[in-house]
Every structure is written in C-alpha cells, then in structure tokens.
Amino acid sequence: MELVRATEAAAIGASSWVGRGRKEIADGAAVDAMRAFLGTVAFDGTVVIGEGEKDHAPMLFNGERVGTGDGPACDIAVDPIDGTSLTATGRAGALSVIAVSDRGSMYDPSAVFYMDKLAAGPEGRGVVSLEQSVGDNIRELARALGKHPSDLRVAVLDRPRHEGLVDEIRTAGAGTRLLSDGDVGGGIDAARHGSPIDLCLGIGGTPEGIITACAIKALGGVLQGRLAPRDEAEAKKATDAGHDLTRILDLDDLVAGDNTYFVATGVTGGDLLRGVERTSRVIRTESIVLRSASGTLRRISAEHLPEKW
C-alpha cells in the first residue's frame, strides 16, 4: 500500500497536464510527487532504473537511495509516467509505475538502451521464443490457446522500425494492436488473463523490459529479450562490458529470484487501468499490485479528497 500511494501521487500529479501538450511538465510533476512519497516508505531502496538528472536537479536518478533506510534492502525501478506522449496528447494507456525486487537482483540496463522483446501469458511458456520466426510464434501460440491465428492480437509499438514486423504478423494471419507509446502496459496485457492482447513483440526500451519482467513474474507468463544496439559504438560498448548480443535473456536474467513487486496507477484510461478522474468532490484512481511470491494481482480503487491530497 505504501508503494501504491507513490504511484497514485505521481498519477494525480500528472493528471492536471493530460492533453495539454507539455510532456516535460507532466513528467516533472509525476517525478516530484513520486519521490516525495517514496521517501516515507520503510525500506532501504536503491534506484537501479530511474529518471536521471533533469534541469540540474536530481530526481530519482540511478543510484539514488530512497525510503526511510529501515527494512529490506531493495532494487527499485521507477517510471513516474510510462507514456509521457500519451499523457501530453490525452491518449489512452499512460501509467505511473514502480517495480521492486531484492537488492542486486535487477539486470543492469545501462550498456544498451533497446532490446528486442517477446511477452505472452502462461500458455506461451515453452511455446514461443525469440529463436523462432514471427509466423511460427503466432501459429504455435494460437495452437496452445485453442485459437486460430486470425483470432490473435499482437501488440507492437508503432514505430518505423517495426514496419517489417507488422507485415510478418499480418502475413501470418494475426491482427495488430499498434501502441503509440508505453510498452510496459503492452507486455503486461499480453501476459494478463482476459486481456484482448495475446502477444507483444518488437524493439523497446531495456529498462521497460526489466520493469515488465517484475510484473510478468507474478502473472506466470513469459518474457524474453535480446539486446538491440542502435549503432556500432553502442554494440562495442556492450561487448566491452561483457554482454553477449546474441544471448536471449529470460525472466530470471532480467530480474532474479521470486520476490518482486510491481505497482501501477492509471494516468490516462486504457485496457489495463482506468485513468485519473477528477470530480467536484473527489479524485478517483485505479491501481494494480502484482506480487511474484504469491502470484496475486490486486486491483485498488481509491477516492481522494482534493483538499487532503
């Protein structure tokens, strides 16, 4: 619940800027609110995936210590707004996100910013893989789900780099759900029971992949990643740091152990969560909490009195 208070605060802070075209200001409001609430949580947290330093002011930067310093030692990954462009334009799917795991358990994403990712639900374990073609993954997953390939929907970030991928998906008979931003939500939707998304594919941020891994561990799904350097210089940096660019990273590579928490609050409404709703009397939020040790997904609906928030 303490972590939920932090994502609620970030989402509420950003909500005043939804649709106003000022994504930097929206992100700054979310960061300030999340950072203030994380300072009250009883744990010794180190930010492994954070915001960096903006405008010469440290705000949830990598290596920052958060929490009261008491309690368990944890790795923290934060994304005060996953989907700043969605927030700025008023589109669906923006989230405020925190992921937590035991100290030293999160993969260091600093060598390469992007990775090729694949996410699916429990039925995809041992069935889909980045080693297989897109068509084979769609056909094998459809068989495991008891569906026809034409019934499958595949989430893909809407980027020029994915034009060929989208063609492969459609050639295999499946449909696409193009995401304008925010592939954390896309990966979770692919693994979540009852979601309209069956599979999530494509190149997205390595930090977002690690955050998503914390959630998918609780959902029992599958997530694979392979580092995708943007150029030769980044590839050399990665190999010099000891990374194998051909290696497929699985859930345990991205976040070790079985003690992860993932918390998200909706900023703008989408398939996963309702967005922040402001009325004359209350501010409404919807959040989820996923815990890998127990395999639970909890939904939390809250009403906040504006004068006390």
Binding site for substrate, by residue number, is: 82-84, 114, 159-161, 181-183, 205
What gap in Å lies between CA 138 and CA 190, rounded to an integer?
13
- Fill in the amino acid letter for 205: G
Residues composing the chain:
309
- Going by C-beta distance under 8 Å and a sequence separation of 6 or more, which residues neighbour residue 303? 282, 283, 284
Task: Reduce the secondary structure of 226-276 to three states and give it as a string.
Answer: EECCCCHHHHHHHHHCCCCCCCCECHHHHECCCCCEEEEEECCCCCCCCCC
Q: How does DSSP classify residue 162?
A: G
* Positions at the binding site for Mn(2+): 27, 51, 79, 82, 208
Residue 209 tokens read as 């992949």
- Chain centroid to CA 21: how far? 22
Contact 17, 46 (CB under 8 A): no
* Positions at the binding site: 27, 51, 79, 82-84, 114, 159-161, 181-183, 205, 208
